[in-house]
A and B are shown apart, each in its own frame.
Chain A
Amino acid sequence: MKSTELLTRGLTRENPVFVMLLGMCPALAVTARVETALGMGILVILVLTLSNLFVSLVKDYVPDQIRVPSYIVIIAAFVTMISMLTEAFAYDLFVSLGVFLPLIVVNCIILGRAESFASKNKPIASMLDGIGMGLGFSLALIIISSIREVLSSGTIVFGEYLPFFATPGDVTQLIAGVNVSDYGIAVFGLPAGAFLTVGLILAIRQGMQVRKEGASA
């Protein structure tokens, strides 16, 4: 398989969240704000790339019966390292992700890719697959969180959790004279709103697919 395909197939055709329905917990839980969703996406890309690389390197030495526990330990080790780094360099993100940071260990996408791709392929291809699937997951989180944050507060705030924005602010400051923050729909910021948003996105995707099949038939 070509490396460009490994990198891009996670974005649309095999998107882990919208198509394969994996990793729903973080996709619903940390998407009230775009910034936390982006942070979660970056961390998952890192963990997925590293764990895919290592699983692929050790795959020939691990006995088949204890495959899954061994992969879980590899993943847990990387998650622990990444979460310590997050605590040191992006403390606000660490606090706002809370328990969902250690829960990356049980994100089905990571064990799923280790089991279905990295344990059967070469190290470089597995790394690329990890980056590609991680990007697809991040894209899904950003789509969900953009809809939720705009609808719940009328704006997108940046610079609060992630350290790489020079000046904190929000996007409505970029458009002069617009004040939409008075018209927020609070439910989209609550847990219930996450179910509604993802349900509607899945319906739109299904509608697009049905239409495409109808056009080609």
Chain B
Amino acid sequence: MNLIGIAFGAIFVSNVVLAQFYGLCSFLGVSKKRGPALSMGAAVTLVITLSAIISWVIDYYILVPFDLRYLNTIVFILVIAAFVQLVEMTIKRFSPPLYQSLGVYLPLITTNCAVLGVAIDATQQLSYNFVETATYAFFISVGYAFVIYLFSAIREEMDAYDVPRNYQGLGVGLITAFILAMAFSGFVGVV
């Protein structure tokens, strides 16, 4: 499979949020305003890409040769937790305003199921080599950032309208996500 195919498929066809249901907590939680949604998308892109690459290297050079693959959940979650801690310290050191705006959501990236899900998918379900894994991980997280930004823009726009009382809050948010998911399902079969 060529890299362009992987990239397109990762963003649109098997979109991480709308088709695979990874990372819904942050998708629904951090999408009220466009600014934080975009920063969250950027932070998640960084974490998913690099932790998937590290996980792939550990899986390929340590877990598979020593027949330890059944430990992959524990190993990957430790890699992710350590890596998120590292990103947090780096952002705090070099960009305090960004650190402020991400706030509590930064440590929560550890428990964003998109990160562990992509690491497990990239090593187990899909038999990709190193370059393909890096491409897949980068573009799947670009798909996440794209959709969370789109969703936050719609939700911001929706504030101006009078939503029926029972649907206020997450109810109408989920129905918006339903329409977005319907639109994205149009891409199925393109790649």
Q: Roughly how many angstroms separate A25 CA and B116 CA in the complex, as a whole number?
A: 13
Contact for A199 among B23, B74, B174, CB less than 8 A? B174
Across the interface, name the chain B residue whose C-beta is closest to A30: B21
Instruction: Assess A199 versus B111: contact at CB under 8 Å? Given A24-B25, A29-B21.
Output: no
Within 8 Å of chain A (Cβ to Cβ): is B90?
no
Chain B residues contacting A191 (CB-CB under 8 Å) are: 18-21, 181, 185
Chain B residues contacting A199 (CB-CB under 8 Å) are: 167, 170-175, 177-178
Contact with B along A104-115 (1 / 0, CB 8 A): 011110010000
Flag the segment in A2-10, A35-43, A202-210 that touches B: A202-210
Contact with A along B134-177 (1 / 0, CB 8 A): 00000000000000000000000000000001111111111101
Whether the pair B74, A106 counts as a contact (CB closer than 8 A) is: no
Whether the pair B111, A206 counts as a contact (CB closer than 8 A) is: no
Within 8 Å of chain A (Cβ to Cβ): is B4?
no
Q: Roughly how many angstroms separate A48 CA and B140 CA in the complex, as a whole number?
A: 30
Whether the pair A196, B28 counts as a contact (CB closer than 8 A) is: no
Within 8 Å of chain A (Cβ to Cβ): is B81?
yes
Q: Roughly how many angstroms separate A3 CA and B10 CA in the complex, as a whole number?
A: 47
Q: Roughly how many angstroms separate A190 CA and B175 CA in the complex, as a whole number?
A: 14
Flag the segment in B48-56, B96-104, B117-125 that touches A: B117-125
**Dominant secondary structure of chain A at its interface with chain B:** helix
**Dominant secondary structure of chain B at its interface with chain A:** helix
Q: Roughly how many angstroms separate A47 CA and B27 CA in the complex, as a whole number?
A: 25
Q: Roughly how many angstroms separate A195 CA and B167 CA in the complex, as a whole number?
A: 13
Contact for A99 among B81, B107, B117, B168, CB less than 8 A? B117
Instruction: Assess A72 versus B110: contact at CB under 8 Å? Given A28-B24, A105-B73.
Output: yes
Contact for B77 among A72, A108, A202, CB less than 8 A? A72
Contact for B167 among A28, A76, A203, CB less than 8 A? A203
Across the interface, name the chain A residue whose C-beta is closest to B78: A73
Chain A residues contacting B78 (CB-CB under 8 Å) are: 69, 72-73, 76
Chain A residues contacting B117 (CB-CB under 8 Å) are: 99, 103
Across the interface, name the chain B residue whose C-beta is closest to A110: B111
Within 8 Å of chain A (Cβ to Cβ): is B39?
no
Contact for A102 among B116, B166, B177, CB less than 8 A? B116
Whether the pair B166, A203 counts as a contact (CB closer than 8 A) is: yes
Contacting B at CB under 8 A, from A135-194, are 187, 190-194
Within 8 Å of chain B (Cβ to Cβ): is A46?
no
Q: Roughly how many angstroms separate A135 CA and B115 CA in the complex, as a whole number?
A: 27
Contact with B along A90-110 (1 / 0, CB 8 A): 000000001100110111100
Q: Roughly how many angstroms separate A195 CA and B173 CA in the complex, as a whole number?
A: 9
Within 8 Å of chain B (Cβ to Cβ): is A62?
no
Q: Roughly how many angstroms separate A202 CA and B24 CA in the complex, as a whole number?
A: 16
Whether the pair B24, A25 counts as a contact (CB closer than 8 A) is: yes
Whether the pair A206, B167 counts as a contact (CB closer than 8 A) is: yes
Whether the pair B81, A195 counts as a contact (CB closer than 8 A) is: no
Whether the pair A196, B178 counts as a contact (CB closer than 8 A) is: yes
- List the interface of chain B (C-beta within 8 A of A): 18-25, 28, 70-74, 77-78, 81, 107, 110-113, 115-117, 120-121, 124-125, 165-175, 177-178, 181-182, 185
8 contacts between A and B (CB under 8 A): A21-B28, A29-B20, A29-B21, A68-B81, A105-B77, A191-B185, A192-B182, A193-B178
- List the interface of chain A (C-beta within 8 A of B): 21-22, 24-25, 28-29, 68-69, 72-73, 76-77, 79-80, 83-84, 98-99, 102-103, 105-108, 111, 187, 190-196, 198-200, 202-204, 206-207, 210
Per CB-CB distance, the 9 closest pairs between chain A and chain B, nearest first, are A199-B174, A192-B181, A29-B21, A195-B178, A207-B166, A203-B171, A196-B178, A24-B24, A199-B175
